[in-house]
Amino acid sequence: MAQNSEQSLLILQRLLADGDAEALRERHRPRLPEEQPLPPRFRHSAAKTPEAIEARRTILREQGIAIDQLCGSDDRMDPETLEGNIENYVGLAQVPVGIVGPLRVNGAFASGDFYVPMATTEGALVASYQRGAQVVNQAGGCTASCLTESVIRSPCFVFDRAATAGAFLAQVLQQIDELKQAVESTSRHCRLLNLRPSLLGKELYLILEFFPGDASGQNMVTLATEAVCRTILERNSVTPTRWYIEGNLSGDKKATMLAFLSARGKKTIAECVLPEPLVRRYLHTTPEAMFRYWQISVLGGIQSGSIGVHGHYANALAAIFIACGQDVACVAEASVGATRMDLTDDGELYVSVTLPNVICGTVGGGTHLPTARECLQMLGCVGEGTAPKLAEIIAATVLSGEVSIIGSMSAGDFAQAHASYGRKKKS
How far apart are the C-alpha atoms of 107 and 191, rounded to whole Å? 25
CA–CA separation, 405 and 413 (whole Å): 10
- DSSP collapsed to 3 states, the chain: CCCCHHHHHHHHHHHCCCCCHHHHHHHHCCCCCCCCCCCCCCCCCCCCCHHHHHHHHHHHHHCCCCCHHHHHCHHHCCHHHHCCCCCCCCCCCCCCEEEEEEEEEEECCCEEEEEEEEECCCCCHHHHHHHHHHHHHHCCCEEEEEEEEEEEECCEEECCCHHHHHHHHHHHCCCHHHHHHHHHCCCCCCEEEEEEEEEECCEEEEEEEEECCCECCHHHHHHHHHHHHHHHHHHCCCCCCEEECCCCCCCCCCCCCHHHHCCCEEEEEEEEEECHHHHHHHHCCCHHHHHHHHHHHHHHHHHHCCCEECCCHHHHHHHHHHHCCCCHHHHHHHCCEEEEEEECCCCCEEEEEEEEEECCCCECCCCCCHHHHHHHHHCCCCCCCCHHHHHHHHHHHHHHHHHHHHHHHHHCCHHHHHHHHCCCCCC
User: Which of the residues are catalytic?
Assistant: 122, 327, 418
Amino acid at residue number 199? L
Which residues contact residue 257 at a Cβ distance below 8 angstroms, ignoring those fewer than 6 apart? 307
Is residue 386 within 8 Å of residue 375, measured between CB atoms? no
